[in-house]
Chains A and B, each alone.
Chain A
Amino acid sequence: MARHSPVTGRYVTIEVDGLEYKVFYLHNGKGTPLVCQHTAGCHNHQWRGLLEDEEITRDYNVIAYDLARHGKSDPPLNVEWWKSEYKLTADHYVNFITTLCDALELDNPIFMGSSFGGNVALQLAMRHPDRFRAVIPVEAADYAPGFFLDWWRHPHVNAAQVCASGTWDLMAPQSPDMDRWLTWHYYTQGSEVFKGDLYFYSVDHDLRRDLDRIDARRCPVVMMTGTYDFLTPPEVTENTARRIKGGIYIEMTDIGHFPMSENYPVFRVYLKEALRIIREKTGG
């Protein structure tokens, strides 16, 4: 008897800002759509624990996609992408997500992302509050400078290992070795895009003067950050949440910047609380 997972994968072709993408996504569950964005330079296997969580997938249709150029989602198929430097912008990132949600005909989904996925969750809440039931920005902040570094794809080093080991201590020492090394393994696979992703994360994403444009009473915003995150430490996330009308902050103890991937059993405790809050506020 084959030991199949209930998780299945599909491709969908979308056009975003004139670029044609064949997007790969994993999904499992039924009910409220819960759209999940991986971290920069990574792919959707970071959500492997959530995708197979029997309790959550009973009520939520979990969809974890690979952003274009990551995992099994190729770079754009209709342009010579290798002739220009990849730098992800907030505009394109937001357009990608809304176009993908439209293509999948998702009804009022919850959007959750970690790190640069968390930062774009804030962008979505600001720009498209009526298209999302709620957002869960994980390890996010209004501004996260300092990680747009040349080392991530420097030709004199093993960029795969620099990306993987350079993000190693974003994880908590308490997280299990197997999960930390799996996350390390994923990070060896995205070194060509990591720096370009971080252009969005550390440069183009800057909401320091725009947080008053987010109204969490229209689109609930539940922010969660781990105590071992040195890029967006808890106080930075908390300050961001405080400046959002109706923003909620949950601190996650003894976990780091990749919580869903480095220690899912701990992360799910906090995620269930976030989902409970969203149900309370939205009725779904």
Chain B
Amino acid sequence: MAADLKHWAGKFKSLTDSDATIGAMAKYYTCTFMYDMGDAKVIVEMHDGKVKHINTNPAPLDAYDFALRASAASWREFGKPVPRPHFHGIWAASFREDLKIEGNITVLMQNLRNFTVQFELLRKCGVPV
């Protein structure tokens, strides 16, 4: 499980750092967020459009700006190449499915363009749950 998670983190970092759409407006895309996928949790630290670090074993007091929490089943839908309706984005899934967006949502909104693009990279690398 730990090895799988680290392997996934490497793929997600590589896809993010090489993504042209994020790269086109990378400056100031700086924030820290958690993907809470039920069985697996990661904290992604972004700095100027690049992944600075992915914490694959967060401790209880490790900090982040905001979190996306949903069941593993929902994350598996997010990670499909073409997700089903209502699993095709964080707005759709928070309005219609079990996704909860918690924490400092202002930071999410300040970074919404790139965060949205990056979230869709899950369709290429899948999810570790």
Contact = CB atoms under 8 A, between A and B. Distances in A.
Contacts of A154: 106, 109
Contacts of B105: 151
A173 B119 CA distance: 13
Q: Is the interface of B mostly helix, strand, loop or mixed?
A: helix
B6 to A, nearest CB: 28
B88 A169 contact: yes
A157 B88 contact: no
Contacts, number: 59
Interface in B103-119: 105-106, 109-110, 112-113, 115-116
B109 A151 contact: yes
A237 B92 CA distance: 17
Interface in A131-182: 146, 151, 154, 156-158, 161-162, 164-166, 168-170, 172-174
A230 to B, nearest CB: 4
For chain A, what secondary structure do more than half of its interface residues adopt (helix, strand, loop), or is it mixed?
A: loop
B106 A156 contact: yes
Interface in B19-60: none
Given A151-B109, A156-B110, A165-B112, 18 more contacts: A151-B105, A157-B106, A157-B109, A157-B110, A161-B112, A162-B112, A165-B113, A165-B115, A165-B116, A166-B91, A166-B112, A168-B116, A169-B92, A230-B85, A230-B86, A230-B91, A230-B96, A233-B96
Interface of A: 146, 151, 154, 156-158, 161-162, 164-166, 168-170, 172-174, 227-231, 233
Interface of B: 82-83, 85-86, 88-92, 95-96, 105-106, 109-110, 112-113, 115-116, 120, 123
